[in-house]
Amino acid sequence: MPAKYLLATACAVALNLTAVAAFAGANDYTFEPLAAEIKKGDDVVVALRLTHKPSGKPVADAVIIRTRVDMAPDGMADMVSPVASLASTEPGIYAFKTDLPMAGRYLVSVAAKVQGEPETVVGKVIVKAVK
């Protein structure tokens, strides 16, 4: 009889650990700009750091699957700039070449696949283009 209870307890613990792992996910990551202000212009480099929030460590080798840069924070979401990914200069840093043709706030939207995470990590970062 005690072995039966031991097995039941082990199953309960395993299910509990699985449930905890299921709650960890895409919200455990954050994208942050390396510079909140960038000089406006063409072929500007916007660099973002991807960090695992619980550990505070940079996340290397994420696969960027979607990017967008627009002026939604200033009410001009239709003003979209082209975006091209650049090679990473250090672990956890993801850089993009884009156009910031006028001064104002730009929304940089990024979606990434992080190794070991079933969910897509999504970041929305505001950078300010200055003269």
CATH number at residue 104: 2.60.40.10
> pLDDT per residue over 92-127, tens digit each?
999 999 999 999 999 999 999 999 999 999 999 999
Residue 74 counted as domain residue? yes
> pLDDT per residue over 6-35, tens digit each?
444 444 444 444 333 444 588 999 999 999
Which residue's entry shows tokens 């967008």? 68
Residue 1 counted as domain residue? no
What residues contact 36, with CB distance under 8 A and at least 6 apart?
127, 128
> pLDDT per residue over 52-63, tens digit each?
999 999 999 999
Residue 43 counted as domain residue? yes
Asked whether the beta carbons of 85 and 67 are under 8 A apart, the reply is yes
CA–chain centroid gap for 80, Å, is: 19
Pairing of strands 76-81, 29-33: unpaired
Return the closest-CA partner of residue 33 out of 100, 113, 115. 100
Residue 6 counted as domain residue? no
Residue 57 counted as domain residue? yes
Residue 17 counted as domain residue? no
Say what the pLDDT of residue 6 is: 45
Which residue's entry shows tokens 């505001």? 126
Domain count, the chain: 1
Instruction: Check residue 121 and give left, alpha or beta (phi > 0: left; psi -120 to 50: alpha).
Output: beta
Which range of residues forms the domain containing residue 56?
Answer: 25-130
Residue 4 counted as domain residue? no
Residue 19 counted as domain residue? no
